[in-house]
Structure 1
Amino acid sequence: MSRQPQDRALRTRATLVWAAAEVFAEQGYAGASVTKITERAGLTLGAMYFHFKNKAALAREIVLNQPGRVLPQHHSAGLQRAVDVTLTWAHQLLEDPVLLAGARLVMEQEEFLSQEQNSHQQWARILAEDLAEARERGELLAGCDQAALARLIVNACTGAQMHAQMATGRRDLPERVAEMWGCLLPGMATPEAVATIDLDSSRGKAI
C-alpha cells in the first residue's frame, strides 16, 4: 500500500500546527480563530476539521507537545540535565513558533486544558525527574523538596520569559535563565555539585 496519502496527511497536520502556532503566538488564544489559522496554513476548513475538532484541540496539541521539542544537545544527567533543559528551551523559544505559542498560551490555558494537563505541571514533572536523579547522585542538599524545587524553577523560567519579552523581545532570555540558576544553585545543591555545573548560556544553542 502506498504511503503517499498517509504522508500527505501528516504534512497537512504539521502545516496546521505550525500555522496555528504562529497565529496563537501573535494574537493569543482569544484572538485566534479557525479561519485565521486555515488562511495562514493555506488550507481549507475541511482539512482543519479532519485533523482537529476545533481551535482548542490545536492549542492542546501545541502545549502538550512542548517538551518533545526541547532536546538538549549535550549529554548530561541530574542537575546539569535540568539546567540544560531550561537553557535549550530558552534558546529554541527565540526561533520556534510552536514553543513561542506555548509561552503565549500559558496565560490562557484554562480555556483549553484541564488543571491536570496544564503546562506548568507538565514541565515541573520533567524537571522533578532530573532533580530526583540529582538526589540519587548526591547533588542536592539534605532536606530539599525536589517537587517544590521543580515548581520554583518552572515559575522562575516563566517569569524570566515574561520580563525578557518586555525588556528585549526575549533576546536575552538564555542569559536570564543562566542567571536564575546562578542564584538558585547555592541554596539547593552541595558545594561540590555547584562547582561542576556549567552555566554557560550557549550550552542551549543547537550544535
Structure 2
Amino acid sequence: MVKQERAVRTRESLVRAAAEVFAEEGYETASIATISKRAGVSTGGLHFHFGSKTALADAVVDRAAESLRVITVSRLAGANPLQSLVDSTHDLVALLARDAVVSAAFGLVAGNGARSAVGRERGWAVRRQWQRWVEAQFHDAAAEGLLAEGVSPQDAAAAVVAAIVGFEVLGVDRREWSSRSSLTRYWGLMLPQLVPVHRLGDVLAGGSGAPPASRSARAS
C-alpha cells in the first residue's frame, strides 16, 4: 500500500512538472531531463512511469479532460442548458488560471507547442471535447426555446468557444481577464443577442453559483 501511494504521488508530480514545462517551453522544446528535475525524480524513475514524452503529454491531456468532464457534468443537474454553459465557462476560465495541467493541455495547440504536430494533436483532443459540449448545450437550448429567432446553435457555439480562447490567452499575462467580473461582462453583452427577451431572466451572466452581488445579469 505504501509503495502504491508513493507511486501515485510520483506520477502526480511528473504530470504536473510536465504540464509546467510544456507551458513554459512548449512540447517540442521540453526535455525529459528538465521535467524529471522539476519533479524531483530521476530520469530512470520518469521512464519507469512514462515510457516517453508522448506518454507524458497523453497523461497531461487525460488529466485535463477529466477535470473538464467534472466541471461540465457537475453543471447538468437542475439548470437550463444556457445556465449550465455560462456556469461552466466561469469554472473553466478559473481552472485555466489556477491549474497548470488544464492550462498546459489547452496550450498545446498554441504558442511554442504549436510547432509540434504531436503536441498540437493532443491539445486539440481536449479542446474538441470542450467544443462538442458547448455545441450540445446550444442545441439543447434551441430545443427548449432558449435561443432567439435566427440564432444558429453552431454559430453561437463557435462564438463562445472563440471567446473563451481569447480569455485564456489574454489571461496568461493579464489576470483580470481570468476574473469572474470580466466573463460576467462578456455574458452580459452576449445573452441579449442569444436569448429571447422573455427568457433573459432565466440565465445569470455571473453564474448561478456566484455571490448575489456579482451575478449582475440576469442580462437586461
- TM bracket, shorter-chain basis: 0.7 to 0.9
Asked if 1:96 corresponds to 2:94, the answer is no
Scaled by the length of structure 1, what TM-score is found?
0.80
The two structures, once aligned, show a CA RMSD in angstroms of 2.8
TM-score, normalized by length of structure 2?
A: 0.76
- Report the counterpart of residue 66 of structure 1 in structure 2: 64
Q: Which residue of 1 aligns with 2:84?
A: 81
Output the amino acid matched with 1:8.
R
Q: Contact 1:87–1:203 at 8 Å: present in 2 too?
A: no
Q: What does the per-residue CA deviation read over 1:141-160, in whole Å, with 9 as the maximum and x for residues that have no partner? A: 24433233223211111112
Q: What is the rounded CA distance, in whole Å, between the counterparts of 1:59 and 1:23 in structure 2?
A: 11
Structure showing greater relative contact order (alpha-carbon pairs closer than 8 Å, 6 or more residues apart)? 1
Query: What SS does the aligned partner of 1:172 have?
Result: helix
Contact 1:141 1:190 in 2 (8 A): yes
SS at match of 1:29: coil
One-letter amino acid matched to 1:173: S
Q: Give a deviation string over 1:17-37, Cα, whole Å, max 9, x none.
A: 111112222222233211111
Shift of 1:116: 10
Q: Counterpart of 2:167?
A: 160
Does residue 140 of structure 1 match 2:147?
yes
Partners of 1:163 and 1:114 lie apart in 2 by 22
Task: Identify if the C-alpha distance between structure 1 residues 148 and 60 changes in structure 2 by more than 3 Å, giving closer, same or farther.
Answer: farther
Q: Is the 8 A contact 1:25 1:104 kept in 2?
A: yes
2:200 aligned to 170, 194, 199, which one? 194
Q: Which amino acid aligns with 1:176?
A: S
Residue 120 of structure 1 is matched in structure 2 by 127
Q: Deviations over 1:73-105 (max 9, x none)?
A: 765340011111110111222221112223432
Task: List runs of 5+ in structure 2 lacking aligned partners.
Answer: 212-220
Which moved further from structure 2: 92-101 or 63-72?
Answer: 63-72
Deviation, structure 1 residue 7: 3.3
Residue 53 (str. 1) matches residue 63 (str. 2)? no
SS at match of 1:25: helix
How many Å separate the matches in 2 of 1:160 and 1:204?
19
Change (3 A) 1:44 1:117: same
Distance 2:124 2:171 in 1: 26
CA contact (8 A) 2:18 2:56 kept: yes
In structure 2, do the counterparts of structure 1 residues 173 and 6 end up closer, same or farther at CA, with 3 Å as the change threshold?
Answer: same
Aligned residue in 2 for 1:181 = 187
Specify the alignment match of 1:20 in structure 2. Answer: 18
Query: Comparing 89-98 with 53-62, which one deviates more in the overlay?
Result: 53-62
SS of corresponding position for 1:21? helix
Structure 1: state its 5+ residue gaps: none
Give the whole-Å Cα distance in 1 for the aligned partners of 2:123 and 2:149: 29
Aligned residues: 201
Cα 1:118–1:199, aligned 2, differ >3 Å: closer, same or farther? same
CA deviations over 1:99-148 (Å, ceiling 9, x no partner): 22234323125333538953332210121222233223221224433233
